[in-house]
Amino acid sequence: MPVTAVVGAAWGDEGKGKIADALAAGAGVVARFQGGRNAGHTIVNDLGRFALHLLPSGVFRPGVTNLLGPGVAVDPAALLEELDGLTAAGVPAPDLVISDRAQVVLPTHVLADRCEEERLGARAFGSTRAGMAPFYADKCLKVGVRVGDLFDPAWLRERLGRSLASRNVLFRHLYGREEVTVDGLCDHLSPMIERLRPMVRDTGALLRRRLAAAERVLAEGQLGALRDPDHGIYPYSTSSSTLAGFACVGLGVPPRSMDEVVAVAKAYSSCVGAGPFVTEWRGEAAQELRRRGGDRGEYGATTGRARRVGPFDAVATRYGCRLQGATSAALTNLDVLGYLDEIPLCTAYRIGGRETTDFPCTRDLERAEPVYQTFPGWRADVSGIRRWQELPDAARRYVDRLEALIETPVSLISVGPHRRALIRRQPGAPDA
Ligand code: GDP
């Protein structure tokens, strides 16, 4: 019963979409288990360039079932718009199934998210304003609406009424806005219900059948380990667990079914939104890396915001790999570093005069300074290389050291945004 998790080792935007799209070739199901449309996966393949938000990265593979599990925050309008966008771009309609237990992101969640960030002003968290925190808050308060609730009008009205009761107090008295009505929410949802109906089912039962038939299931994480609400840089974290362990919960599969965890990390660091980021570069060095990074510069796929960038942080990434329980790592964007004469790699933090390789709590992290080991750059375009042995010596030395620091075998090295720009490396294989 094999499940492979593809998850982020750091702050998110590590290139999970690219890796999941590549690995989807051998999968029967590609499943999302948490989060909503608040993140973006950029995928470049022969069909074009796409920014996926809510759809799993298997949508470009005919024959793959794409699944949104109970842990996902389903925004129906955003989902249908994304599907329409794919069709308009000439992608064949994917096989998509949505759990009847997944919950629905309502316009009130999105509005509450925006109102709260505006209220916080300079102290805002840098939310993507996709409604995630109010959505998961409602879920915990047990006033959420499940996808399966959409098909029973009376039950749906009752659930929406519960969700609105306390939300409207905040809208009126905290944010000074009009109250939202059940009728208003029904008007929003009604036109979408019949389109969703054929996609909705008991995805737990589906997964059990597929796993029993020995199909591989790819569980695709969103954001990264450092955004996990329990283990990450709280409160600059997201609202659902980003860890591979949670995939079993968010999908409803047994923990013993997961035999591979691929933690994805960039060959440098990038981070979008607020919070401590120890290796952050500023000024010209940051601008240059931001301009060269990713497929079109380091700008958020969902928000368009400039990402903060800097050298690889091995302290944070080792912590991320440990949290994920990584069995291997995929290192992306190695090609981007080819312009540098020297490449610093953060091996430890100095906090209040003490050096540590442990990843501390947020308060200490705020005052941590990076300790760097510097490597000679390779000053070459490696984007056409497909074999480990053909990478320049300096690039291999950099990856070898990074691999030792994160204590996880680097089995995939991505050297460009396209699906094919990938070096598959056997862990422990000799260099040449
Ligand atoms: P995700 O959310 O983890 O899937 O990551 P994003 O898609 O938000 O950000 C990763 C960025 O890196 C995107 O612009 C990708 O197209 C890009 N990318 C992924 N792998 C590579 C690579 O090896 N080289 C380059 N240059 N870009 C890459």
Q: Torsions phi, psi of 27, nearest 5?
A: -110, 150
Closest ligand 1 atom number to CA of residue 12: 3
Measured in Å, residue 42 CA sits from the centre of ligand 1 at 6
Contact 23, 4 (CB under 8 A): yes
Closest ligand 1 atom number to CA of residue 224: 3
Ligand 1 near 298 CB (within 6 A): no
For the question of residue 13 being annotated catalytic, the response is: yes
Measured in Å, residue 271 CA sits from the centre of ligand 1 at 13
Ligand 1 near 295 CB (within 6 A): yes
Quote the pLDDT of residue 1. Answer: 54
Q: For residue 412, name the pLDDT band (cuts at 50, 70, 90).
A: very high
Distance between CA atoms of residues 261 and 265, nearest Å: 13
Closest ligand 1 atom number to CA of residue 18: 19
432 CB burial (10 A radius; 0-12, 13-18, 19+):
exposed
| Region 268-290 average pLDDT | 95
Contact 214, 26 (CB under 8 A): no
Ligand 1 near 232 CB (within 6 A): no
Tell me what percent of the residues of the chain surpass a pLDDT of 90: 91
Tell which residue, 195, 291, 217, has the closest CA to residue 5.
217
| Res 154 pLDDT > 60 | yes
Q: For residue 185, name the pLDDT band (cuts at 50, 70, 90).
A: very high
Contact 95, 28 (CB under 8 A): no
Distance between CA atoms of residues 277 and 359, nearest Å: 12
Measured in Å, residue 326 CA sits from the centre of ligand 1 at 20
Q: What is the pTM of this model?
A: 0.95
Tell me which of 6, 238, 242, 295 to substitute to probe ligand 1's pocket, judged by most ligand atoms within 8 Å of the beta carbon.
Answer: 295
Rounded to the nearest angstrom, the gap between the alpha carbon of residue 167 and the centroid of all alpha carbons in its chain is 28
Tell me which of 14, 18, 44 to substitute to probe ligand 1's pocket, judged by most ligand atoms within 8 Å of the beta carbon.
Answer: 18
Measured in Å, residue 50 CA sits from the centre of ligand 1 at 11
User: Tens of pLDDT along 37-86?
Assistant: 998 888 999 999 999 999 999 999 999 999 999 999 999 999 999 999 99
| Region 235-260 average pLDDT | 96
For residues 293-324, b (16+ Cβ closer than 10 Å) or e, as one string? bbbeebbbbbbeeebbbbbbbbbbbbbbbbbb
Contacts of 150 (CB under 8 A, 6+ apart): 76, 104, 156, 189, 193, 196, 200
Q: What is the CA radius of gyration of the chain?
A: 22
| Res 189 pLDDT > 90 | yes
DSSP labels, 47-105 = TEEEEESSS-TTTTSTT-EEEE-TTBEE-HHHHHHHHHHHHHTTPPPPEEEEETTSEEP
Quote the pLDDT of residue 432. Answer: 37
Ligand 1 near 76 CB (within 6 A): no
Ligand 1 near 74 CB (within 6 A): no
Quote the pLDDT of residue 427. Answer: 52
| Res 237 pLDDT > 60 | yes
Measured in Å, residue 362 CA sits from the centre of ligand 1 at 27
| Region 32-36 average pLDDT | 97
Contact 106, 113 (CB under 8 A): no
Q: For residue 418, name the pLDDT band (cuts at 50, 70, 90).
A: very high
User: Tens of pLDDT along 356-387?
Assistant: 999 999 999 999 999 999 999 999 999 999 99
Measured in Å, residue 205 CA sits from the centre of ligand 1 at 33
Nearest 5°: the CA angle 421, 15, 30 is 95
Residue nearest to atom 28 of ligand 1 (CA): 417
Measured in Å, residue 383 CA sits from the centre of ligand 1 at 13
Q: For residue 286, name the pLDDT band (cuts at 50, 70, 90).
A: very high
Quote the pLDDT of residue 431. Answer: 45
Closest ligand 1 atom number to CA of residue 14: 3
Q: Torsions phi, psi of 270, nearest 5?
A: -145, 150
Tell which residue, 410, 406, 402, has the closest CA to residue 429.
410
Quote the pLDDT of residue 430. Answer: 46
Ligand 1 near 252 CB (within 6 A): no
Q: What is the DSSP letter of 228?
A: -
Q: What is the mean pLDDT of the chain?
A: 95
Distances in Å between the Cα of 304 and the Cα atoms of 51, 108, 128, 296, 298 are: 11, 23, 10, 11, 9
Closest ligand 1 atom number to CA of residue 51: 7
Contacts of 88 (CB under 8 A, 6+ apart): none
Distance between CA atoms of residues 379 and 335, nearest Å: 10
User: Tens of pLDDT along 293-344?
Assistant: 999 899 876 677 889 999 999 999 999 999 999 999 999 999 999 999 999 9
For the question of residue 109 being annotated catalytic, the response is: no
| Region 205-220 average pLDDT | 97
Tell which residue, 67, 3, 78, 5, has the closest CA to residue 39.
78
Quote the pLDDT of residue 408. Answer: 98
Look at 18-22, 341-345, 405-409 and tell me which has the smallest mean pLDDT: 18-22
Among 41, 53, 109, 418, the one annotated catalytic:
41
Ligand 1 near 41 CB (within 6 A): yes
Measured in Å, residue 293 CA sits from the centre of ligand 1 at 8
Ligand 1 near 21 CB (within 6 A): no
Distance between CA atoms of residues 80 and 296, nearest Å: 26
Quote the pLDDT of residue 127. Answer: 83
257 CB burial (10 A radius; 0-12, 13-18, 19+):
middle
Q: Would you state the structure tokens that stand for residue 55, as one six-digit string? A: 């759809």
Quote the pLDDT of residue 428. Answer: 52
Ligand 1 near 303 CB (within 6 A): no
Residue nearest to atom 9 of ligand 1 (CA): 13
